[in-house]
Amino acid sequence: MPIEDEGHAIDEVVERLSARFPDVPESDVRAQVESHLTKFSGAAVRAFVPVLVEHEAGETLASHQVGGGGDPT
């Protein structure tokens, strides 16, 4: 996946997660996505990185919502 396509896919991940977690500011959602994205910086195969990032960031955001708030970053 070209880096431009991955960047666009990550933007879409932020949009979907922001819609899923409307009470979380988009800047916090983006920070969470970027935090998880760094875990895959050395991945040789990039095709599934946005999917994996969305899954992990979504789990983190959900756990902070259920857990009563706090800083999700």
SS3 content of the chain, % helix, strand, coil (to 5): 65, 0, 35
21: left (phi over 0), alpha (psi -120 to 50) or beta: beta
Instruction: Give yes or no for residue 1 having a pLDDT over 70.
Output: no
Give residue-wise pLDDT tens across range 14-64: 999 999 999 999 999 999 999 999 999 999 999 999 999 999 999 999 998
Q: What is the pTM of this model?
A: 0.82
